[in-house]
Amino acid sequence: MLGGKIVKISEIFPEVLMEDLEYEFKQVLSEENPIKWAKTIVAYANNGGGTIFVGVSNDGDAFGLTLNDIDKTKNLVARINDRNIFPHARTSYVIGSVDENAERYVLGIRVFSAESVVRYREGDFNETVYIRGDGNSYPARPEEIISLSKRRYGIDNETTEVLYADNEWNDYLAMCRNYRNKRNWPSIKELQNEEILSKDGHVKSGFLMFKDDYDKDDTMVCCRLWKGLNKSGTLIDSARFKGNIPTVFENTLSFIEKSTKTGWKKLDNGGRKEIRSYPLIAIREALVNAIAHRDYSINGTQIDVDVYSDRLEIVSPGSWLLPKGYCEYPVGSIPSIRRNSIIAACLDVANLMERGGTGFQTMMEAYVDYSKELQPVVSIYPGFLNLKLFDTLYKRYDGNENDKNADKKEKLLYILEDSGSMRINDLQYELDYTNRTRFLNDIINPLIEEGEIYRDGNKKSPNSVIRIKED
Domains of the chain: 7-140 (3.30.950.30), 141-394 (3.30.565.60), 401-468 (1.10.10.10)
> Cα separation of 230 and 307, whole Å?
9
Q: If DSSP codes are grouped into helix, strand and coil, which group holds residue 462?
A: coil
Q: CA nearest 7: which of 72, 126, 103?
A: 103
Q: What angle do CA 7, 12, 14 make, to 5 degrees?
A: 115
Q: What is the pLDDT of residue 69?
A: 95
Q: What is the pLDDT of residue 323?
A: 45
> Cα separation of 63 and 82, whole Å?
28
Least confident of 7-21, 71-85, 264-278: 264-278
Average pLDDT, integer, range 2-31: 84
* Phi/psi of residue 373, nearest 5 degrees: -70, -10
Least confident of 24-38, 315-329, 407-421: 315-329
Q: For 184-244, where are the alpha helices, taking DSSP H only?
A: 188-193
Answer yes or no: are the C-beta atoms of 224 and 235 closer than 8 Å. yes
Least confident of 218-222, 310-314, 334-338: 334-338
Distance from CA of residue 250 to its chain's centroid? 18
Sign of CA dihedral 249, 252, 253, 254: positive
* Phi/psi of residue 51, nearest 5 degrees: -135, 135
Q: What is the pLDDT of residue 260?
A: 86
Judged against a pLDDT cut of 60, whether residue 290 lies above it is answered with: yes
Q: What is the pLDDT of residue 19?
A: 80
DSSP class of residue 229 equals: S
Q: What is the pLDDT of residue 160?
A: 83
Q: CA nearest 306: which of 217, 237, 376?
A: 237
Judged against a pLDDT cut of 50, whether residue 367 lies above it is answered with: yes
Count of Cβ atoms closer than 10 Å to residue 442 Cβ: 18
Judged against a pLDDT cut of 60, whether residue 324 lies above it is answered with: no
Q: If DSSP codes are grouped into helix, strand and coil, which group holds residue 138?
A: strand
Answer yes or no: are the C-beta atoms of 42 and 129 closer than 8 Å. yes
Distance from CA of residue 218 to its chain's centroid? 12
Percent of the chain with pLDDT over 90: 41
> Cα separation of 163 and 117, whole Å?
30
Judged against a pLDDT cut of 60, whether residue 335 lies above it is answered with: no
Average pLDDT, integer, range 452-466: 84
CA distances from 414 to 275, 318, 421 (A): 9, 38, 11
Q: CA nearest 196: which of 204, 208, 186?
A: 204
Q: What is the largest CA-CA distance in the chain?
A: 105
Between 67 and 233, the more confident residue is 67
> Cα separation of 305 and 313, whole Å?
6
DSSP class of residue 404 equals: H
Confidence of residue 194 (pLDDT cuts 50, 70, 90): very high
Rg from Cα positions in the chain: 30
Q: What is the pLDDT of residue 24?
A: 92
Confidence of residue 16 (pLDDT cuts 50, 70, 90): confident
Q: Identity (one letter) of the amino acid at 159? A: T
> Cα separation of 461 and 450, whole Å?
22
Average pLDDT, integer, range 110-139: 82
Distance from CA of residue 44 to its chain's centroid? 25
Judged against a pLDDT cut of 50, whether residue 398 lies above it is answered with: no
Beta strands in 338-413 (DSSP E): 377-381, 384-390
Judged against a pLDDT cut of 70, whether residue 32 lies above it is answered with: yes
Between 394 and 269, the more confident residue is 394
Percent of the chain with pLDDT over 70: 83
Answer yes or no: are the C-beta atoms of 13 and 99 closer than 8 Å. no
CA distances from 130 to 86, 101, 119, 397 (A): 12, 39, 7, 47
CA distances from 195 to 48, 61, 343 (A): 29, 53, 11
What is the pLDDT of the chain when averaged over all its residues?
84
Which of the given ranges, 347-351, 365-369, 375-379, 422-426, has the highest pLDDT on average? 347-351
Bridge partners (DSSP) listed for residue 367: none
Judged against a pLDDT cut of 50, whether residue 397 lies above it is answered with: no
Q: What is the pLDDT of residue 329?
A: 45
Q: Identity (one letter) of the amino acid at 273? A: K
Least confident of 26-35, 166-175, 249-258, 358-367: 358-367
Judged against a pLDDT cut of 50, whether residue 399 lies above it is answered with: no
Q: What is the pLDDT of residue 221?
A: 97
Q: CA nearest 89: which of 125, 119, 131, 124?
A: 119
Q: What is the pLDDT of residue 145?
A: 72
* Phi/psi of residue 19, nearest 5 degrees: -70, 135
CA distances from 322 to 144, 180, 377, 403, 434 (A): 12, 30, 17, 44, 49
Per the document, the length of the chain is 471
